[in-house]
Amino acid sequence: MTTKSFGEPILRKEDPRLVSGQGRYLDDLGHEALAAAFLRSPHASARILDIDVTDALDVPGLIGIYTYEDLEGRVAEPLPLLIPHPALLNGRTGYPLANEFVRHVGEAIVMVIAEDRYIAEDVVELIKVSYDVLQPVVGIQNAKAAHNAVHPSVPNNVSAHSVKEVGDARAMIKAAPHKLSLDLFIERSACSPLEGKGVYAIWEEDSQELRLWSSTQTSTGVRAAVAAKLDLPLQKVECIAPDVGGGFGVKIMHPWPEEVLIPWAARKLNRPVKWSEDRREHFISSAHERAQEHHIEVGFDEEGRILGLDVTFFHDNGAYTPYGIIIPLITSTQLLGPYKPASYRVEFTSLFTNTVLVIPYRGAGRPQGVFAMERTVDAIAKYLRLDRTVVRERNFIQPDEMPYDLGLIFQDGRPLEYDSGNFPASMAMLKEMVGWDNFETMRSEYAAQGRKIGIGVACYVEGTGVGPYEGGFVQVETSGRINVATGLTSQGQGHQTVFAQIVADELGVPIEDVFVTTGDTRRFPYAVGTFASRAAVMSGNAIALAARQVRDKALRLAGEALECDPHDLEIVDGIVRVKGDHTKSIALKTVAVLSNPLRYAFDESAKAATQFAVGDTSKPPVPEDQEPGLEGKDYYSPMASTFANGMHAVIIEILPDTAEVKILRYVVVHDCGRVINPMIVEGQIHGGVAQGVAGALFERMAYDESGQLQNASFMDFLMPYATEIPTVEAGHLETPSPLNPLGIKGAGEAGVIPGSAVFASAIEDAEGFEIRRMPISPSELWELRRTMKENA
C-alpha cells in the first residue's frame, strides 16, 4: 500500500547530500576558471575623472582589466527596468560598469580578470581612480528636501508617486467621532543569505553556446536577460541555479551587473570565468529593503471600528529602480491586513537616495505596512481603553464575507480579493495559546518580583502564489525512476521533497523513486522564479496537473495491456492493478516501456516494446493524438493570488537597567491552506520569525551622512545567533484555498511579516509610552525612557 505523503512530515530528500558536504553551491564549481574581482566606488555620489591602470599591468597572472569604455553592444546599455508601472514616472537603472557617474558606495567601476581571485584582488588594489566627489543624498529626509539630486534628470528625487482611494477617507475621518494621527518609521535591513551572489560561465567556442550558473532565484530570468544582453539566440544560452545558499529576495533581481559581465568576459576570453561575491560586496553592492516613513490619519467610532484610514508614506528606493516599485505597491495594498476600514486612502512617494538599491527582502513591503496598521489599531485601543484584541476583532473581515474584494489592485495587476481565511478563529487560537486573557495575572506576578513584562499582538494577511504561471514536467523512466522538473529555483525550501510528495500521491508511487530538478533551463525552460511565497502554490499545482496527465496515460495504456476499462484501474506502489482483483496488474515501469514503441532493444525490459513484440497492426504504433513516452507537462496559471494569514503574539521582559528586551514566549498562529509538509512549513516559520526578531531588535543599515555603510560586515551588522532567537510555539489552521487544485497557499515569507509590529506592541505595553520607530536597540529604548521621564 502506498503511504499517503501529502500532509506528512516527510524527511527531506536533499539532506543526505547537504549534510555530508556533497552540496554544490556556486563557488564549489569551476575550480579551474579565471576569477573576477571588482573595483567598486568608495563614494556615494561622484563623477569619475580618470582610471589609471599603469601600476596594475605587470602583475603576473593578470588576464584583463575592463572599464565601461571596454563594454560592447548591448552590454554597454543601461540594465533593464524589470517591472515597469504607470506610477513609476522616473525609473532609472545603472550600467554593468559605471558610466562616468557612481551613485552609491559599492557600484562597480572596473572588472579585473586574473588567474585566481587573490591575484585579481591584488590588481584591483593597484588601480587608481580619481573622482570629483559630489554631495550625496542619504536617508528619506534628505531625499525629500532635495537639496541635492541623485539623478540630475529626476526632479525632487521622486521616482514614483501613487494615490489610491476606496471611498472618501478624508471626509469620513473628518466626520468621525474620534481621530488620531501617527508618524512611523522603519529602518533598512537586508536579506543577508549566508552565501552571497555568484556567477560562473563557460563559452563553447565551437558550438557558439553559453552555459552559465548563477546563485539566483530565477534561472529562466537570468537566461533571457543574458541572451538579450549578449545578443545570443535563447537556444544558445542555458542557465542553471546550482545549490543556492539562501536567497530571501535579493537573488530574484536580475541581471545583476556581474550576471552580464562574467558571461561577456567568458565569451570574450574564450575561457571559463567565475565571480563569487564576498561579504562586504554583498552589503554594499547587492540590495537592501524596508526603509519607509509613514504618516497616518485615522477616524473611528466608539467601538473602535475604523471609518477612515489615510496613509501617506515615503519609500527609500536607493540609487536605482531595476525592480520597479513592487515594494511600495505591496505596502500600500497589504497594509490593510485582516481589517475592513469603511474607507481607505493611500498615497506613496518613492525616492532616490545615494545608497544601495532596494528590492524585495522576505516580506517585501508587508512588514512596514503591518507595522503601520497594527500601530494604528493599538493606538485606537489605547485611546478608547479597549483590549487590543477586541479592537482587532471588531475590524476583522468575517469568514462569511469571503471572498472579500478590497477595491484595490494588487502587485500582480489583478484585483485585491481575499479568497478565504478565518480571522476570528485565528485570533481565538492565538489568545488561547499565549494566555492573553490571563496575562494581567502574569504581569502582576512579575511586577511583584520587580520585573517588567509586556505582551504584543500583530496580524497580517499575505498575498501568495502570484502569477503569471509555473510549469511542471513528470516522466516515468523504464527503470521506474520518476523524473520531475520545474523551472523555478530552490534556496532551501525543500522543493525536492515537497514536489516529490505531490507526485508520489498523484501517481501512486513510492517517494523514493521520485527525483525533482529545479532551476535548470535545460530541464524546464519556461518559468518565472521563486519569490512572493509562490513556489509551492505555483509549481506544486503545475506538477500535480502534469502528474495527473501521466496517470491518465498510464491507466489508458495499462487498460489496453490488461484488456480492461481504465476506470477500473488504480496505481498503488508503482503497480497498475484492477481495483479489487490484484492478480491483474502491470508495473508502471512496464507501462513506460509500452508507451514508447521501439525498433531497438537496448536492454531486457525494452524487448517488450520492440516492433515484433507489441502493437495492433491496424493502427500506427503511436496513435494520432498521442506522443511516445510516459510523461506529461502542464502549467498552472491562477486568476489571482491566494491569501494566507497569521497572527503573532510575543511576551517580553525588559531589563530595568539596560533596557534589553528578552523574549519570554513567541507564539504564532498560521493559516497557509492545505499543508504539504508540516515539518517544512514550521521550518519556514522559524526562519521567518528569526528574521522578524532580527529586524525588530538588531539589524539596521548604519549609513553615515556621506553615504558610507558603517556596518558592512558580520562583525557590525548584528545578525542574531541562537542566543537571540526564541523558541517558536506554532499553531496551524488550514483554510484550503478555493483557487487551486491542491488548496494550498504560500508560507515562505509569513514568519517575518509581523516582527516589528508585534515587538513594538509588546514594548509599548511594557513601558507605557509610544513606540513609533523600529528597529529599537537597548540604547534607543533606554534613551526613550529617559526622555519620557523628563517630559512627564
Q: Residue 190 is which amino acid?
A: A
Asked if 723 is part of the footprint of another protein (rule: CB under 8 A), the reply reads yes
If one asks whether residue 190 binds another protein (CB under 8 A), the answer comes out as: no
| Cα–Cα nearest to 592, from 550, 547, 535 | 550
Footprint (CB under 8 A) of another protein, residues 264-283: 278-279
Indicate the residue among 282 and 315 with the shorter CB distance to another protein. 282
8 A C-beta contact, residue 188 and residue 700: yes
Residues 194-223 that bind another protein (CB under 8 A): 194-195
The interface region with another protein, picked from 244-252, 449-457, 537-545, 594-602 by CB under 8 A, is 244-252
Q: Enumerate the β-bridge partners of residue 745.
A: none
Nearer to another protein, 321 or 497 (CB): 497
CA angle 553, 558, 564 (to 5 degrees): 115
Query: Taking the complex as a whole, how short is the minimal distance between the CB of residue 698 and another protein, in angstroms?
Result: 12
Please identify, using beta-carbon distances, which residue of 254 and 495 lies nearer to another protein: 495
**What's the CA gap between 91 and 268, in Å, rounded?**
31
Site string for another protein, 519-558 (x = CB under 8 A): ----------------------------------------
Member of 192, 292, 321, 737 binding another protein (CB under 8 A) = 192
- For another protein, the binding residue among 94, 193, 318, 775 (CB under 8 A) is 193
Please select the residue that binds another protein; options are 54, 235, 727, 791, rule is CB under 8 A. Answer: 727
Distance in Å, CB of 433 to another protein, minimum: 17
Write the CA distances from 790 to 110, 129, 268, 452, 785, integer angstroms.
53, 51, 67, 20, 9
By CB under 8 A, tell whether 246 contacts another protein. yes
Residues 742-761 contacting another protein, CB under 8 A: 751
Across the chain, which distance is largest between two alpha carbons, in Å?
Answer: 97
CB of 481 to another protein, least distance (A): 21
Residues in contact with another protein, counted by CB under 8 A, come to a total of 58
Q: Is 18 in the site for another protein (CB under 8 A)?
A: yes
Q: CA–CA separation, 229 vs 256, rounded Å?
A: 12
Distances (CA, A) of 755 to 285, 463, 752: 26, 17, 6
How far apart are the C-alpha atoms of 372 and 298, rounded to whole Å? 11
* Interface with another protein, residue 8, by CB under 8 A: no
Check binding of 54 to another protein (CB under 8 A).
Answer: no
Number of H helices, E strands in the chain: 18, 29
Nearer to another protein, 169 or 190 (CB): 190
SS3 annotation, 415-463: EEEECCCCHHHHHHHHHHHHCHHHHHHHHHHHHHCCCEEEEEEEEEEEE
Residues 6 or more apart whose Cβ sits within 8 Å of residue 434: 455, 649, 651, 665, 667
Q: Which of residues 360-389 bind another protein (CB under 8 A)?
A: none
**What is d(CA 190, CA 360) in angstroms, rounded to the nearest whole number?**
9
Cα separation, 675 vs 491, in Å, equals 19
Nearer to another protein, 78 or 683 (CB): 683
Closer CB to another protein, 96 or 249, in the complex:
249
By the rule CB under 8 A, 61 interacts with another protein: yes
Does residue 660 interact with another protein by CB under 8 A?
no
Strand partners, 7: none
> Is 331:193 a contact under the CB 8 Å cutoff?
no
Binding window for another protein (CB under 8 A); candidates: 73-81, 340-348, 530-538, 689-697: 689-697
Nearer to another protein among residue 19 and residue 639 (C-beta): 19
From the list 361, 359, 371, 364, the residue with the least C-alpha distance to 464 is 364
Q: Among the candidate windows 263-271, 292-300, 465-473, 722-730, which touches another protein by CB under 8 A?
A: 722-730
- Least Å distance between CB 395 and another protein? 30
- Least Å from the CB of residue 192 to another protein: 6
Residue 9 vs 415, nearer CB to another protein? 9
Report which of 400, 331, 404, 335 is spatially closest to residue 361, judged by C-alpha positions: 331
The answer to whether residue 16 forms part of the interface with another protein (CB under 8 A) is yes
Residue 58 contacts another protein per CB under 8 A? yes
The whole-angstrom separation of Cα 642 and Cα 119 is 50
CB of 247 to another protein, least distance (A): 8
Residue 232 forms beta bridges with which residues?
none
Residue 206: CB minimum distance to another protein, A: 27
Site string for another protein, 70-109 (x = CB under 8 A): ----------------------------------------
721 binds another protein (CB under 8 A): yes
Q: Which stretch binds another protein (CB under 8 A): 65-73, 413-421, 561-569, 682-690?
A: 682-690
Select 25 or 131, whichever has its Cβ closest to another protein.
Answer: 25
Among 7, 8, 28, 398, binds another protein (CB under 8 A): 28
Give the Cα-Cα-Cα angle 366, 399, 365 (nearest 5 degrees).
5
Task: Name the DSSP class of 153.
Answer: T
Nine-digit cell string for 512: 523514493
**Interacting positions 104-123 with another protein (CB under 8 A):** 118
Judge whether 688 and 644 are in contact, CB under 8 Å.
Answer: no
Instruction: Look at residue 702 and give its three-state secondary structure.
Output: coil
Q: Where are the alpha helices (DSSP H) in 179-245?
A: 219-229
Nearer to another protein, 19 or 171 (CB): 19
| C-alpha pair distances (Å), 704 with each of 18, 146, 289, 711 | 40, 18, 17, 10
Between vectors from CA 338 to CA 186 and to CA 459, what angle results, nearest 5°?
50
In the list 14, 70, 568, 780, the residue contacting another protein (rule: CB under 8 A) is 14
| Of 690, 701, 742, 776, the one binding another protein by CB under 8 A | 690
Q: Which residues in this chain contact another protein in the complex, by CB under 8 A?
A: 11-12, 14-16, 18-25, 27-28, 31, 58-61, 118, 191-195, 243-246, 248, 278-279, 491-494, 679-680, 682-683, 686-691, 713-715, 719, 721-723, 725, 727-728, 751
